Amino acid sequence: MSETLKQLWENPANPELDVAIQAAEAANVCTAGTRELTPEELECHLGRVEEFKAILKKQVEPRRYQHSLNVGDAARELAELNGVDPGKAYLCGLLHDIEKNRPLDEQERYMRQLGDLIPDHVIANPKLWHAPAGAAFIRDELGILDADMIRAIKYHTTGRPHMSPLEKVLYVADYVSVERDYPGVETVREAAYRNLDEAILIGGRFTLISLLERYRKVNYDTFAMYNEVAELMGARFEEAAAKAEEEARAKVAKVENPER
């Protein structure tokens, strides 16, 4: 048996999943030309909020514009609760969908301009392009060079394992912004203001169920993120599951032996 086959035999995980994890690790290295902003630079970007809003308004549909404002607000609140810079979080929320309604050829151009290795499963799904495209847009058109902010926008749709606190804040804010009304949003929202990982686990579960029910492909980064958080939060949920099971059993016993 060749060495590669032997490795696969011993570790039967989907090789593409390993690629996703490696890519996520590689993403911890800055995207070309990015670094951490100085406080003065961040202050300067925050002073340009009205200018950014005007650009956003031109680039996206009215509904998307309102969503962006709401995600900005939610991201700022979640940042404050989690010791993350609220200014960075607000700007990420405001700008995360800036490429969402742009023509696909423009989205593809910016996605490639980012210069990062884009996995095949992202290239194959145009719905995911606006995230890396938006990351390149804020770096190259708005001059926001912050590595953590660029990554937060790049991964806001799929998530990834090893997300930074800012990345988690944006990922969750996009799930729970005030206009969101999908079934179960209240559960995710309630968890979001308690614990970001719990919200990612519950939100990720909703996403996976919805994809599986429609026989859609699951993005490898999403899968790897879900597994990571499930492992982290698993014990807590096992306790909750055991308690629910016990309560259900007690209910059945009560029906079978009603007290007189």
Which residues form the interface with Fe ion (CB under 5 A)? 97, 174
Using DSSP's 3-state secondary structure scheme, residue 240 falls into helix
Minimum separation from the CB atom of position 202 to Fe ion (A): 18
Minimum separation from the CB atom of position 229 to Fe ion (A): 20
Closest CA relative to residue 109, chosen from 92, 91, 126: 126
Q: Which residue, 48 or 180, is less far from Fe ion as judged by CB? A: 180
Task: Provide the token pair at 82.
Answer: 């989690």
Q: Which residue, 97 or 167, is less far from Fe ion as judged by CB? A: 97
Minimum separation from the CB atom of position 173 to Fe ion (A): 9
Minimum separation from the CB atom of position 8 to Fe ion (A): 35
Minimum separation from the CB atom of position 27 to Fe ion (A): 17
Q: Which residue, 31 or 70, is less far from Fe ion as judged by CB? A: 70
Residue 153's Cβ-count burial label (10 Å; 0-12, 13-18, 19+) is: buried
d(CA 149, CA 136): 11
Minimum separation from the CB atom of position 167 to Fe ion (A): 14
The number of C-alpha atoms within 13 Å of 36 and in the hemisphere containing its C-beta is 5
- What single-letter DSSP state applies at residue 128? G
d(CA 191, CA 211): 22
Are the beta carbons of 199 and 163 closer than 8 angstroms?
no
Q: Which residue, 85 or 174, is less far from Fe ion as judged by CB? A: 174
Minimum separation from the CB atom of position 207 to Fe ion (A): 13
Q: Which residue, 66 or 227, is less far from Fe ion as judged by CB? A: 66
Cα–Cα distances in angstroms (integers) from residue 123 to residues 83, 94, 118, 128, in the given order: 34, 25, 7, 8
Q: Which residues contact 57 (CB under 8 A, 6 or more apart)?
A: 65
Are the beta carbons of 20 and 224 closer than 8 angstroms?
yes
Q: Which residue, 45 or 130, is less far from Fe ion as judged by CB? A: 130
Q: Which residue, 58 or 127, is less far from Fe ion as judged by CB? A: 127
